[in-house]
């Protein structure tokens, strides 16, 4: 019975994952890995202070990061751009109260 349940779950999981192409699945995997590595208690002000102590300009770093993000977004087709927007909305602009 237990083995039959696992077989049925595997079928369902495979059916679900087939909705996504390889690039989409790799993106999800990377997002999960980044989430696991993220510090949820390390404040941004402490991180910014550490960067300033290394001698790197915070404004220059922000501009470089923004430029990299814009470059990535410019490479996306309409469908993937909508997905990126949804991910950004969910990750950074949705309150989790």
Instruction: Convert the pLDDT of each residue in 42-58 to its tens digit.
Output: 555 666 666 666 655 66
**Global pTM value:** 0.40
Q: Which two tokens stand for residue 77?
A: 């087709």
Write the Ramachandran bin of 19: left for phi over 0, alpha for psi from -120 to 50, otherwise beta.
alpha
User: Residue 17: its pLDDT value, please?
Assistant: 84
Look at residue 34 and tell me whether its pLDDT is greater than 70.
Answer: yes
């Amino acid at each position: 019975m237990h083995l039959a349940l696992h077989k049925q779950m595997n079928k369902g999981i495979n059916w679900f994952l087939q909705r996504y192409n390889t690039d989409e699945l790799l993106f999800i995997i990377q997002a999960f890995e980044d989430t696991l590595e993220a510090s949820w208690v390390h404040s941004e002000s402490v991180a910014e202070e550490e960067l300033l102590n290394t001698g790197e300009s915070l404004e220059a770093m922000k501009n470089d990061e923004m430029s990299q993000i814009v470059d990535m977004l410019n490479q996306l087709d309409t469908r993937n751009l909508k997905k990126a927007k949804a991910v950004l909305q969910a990750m950074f602009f949705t309150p989790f109260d």
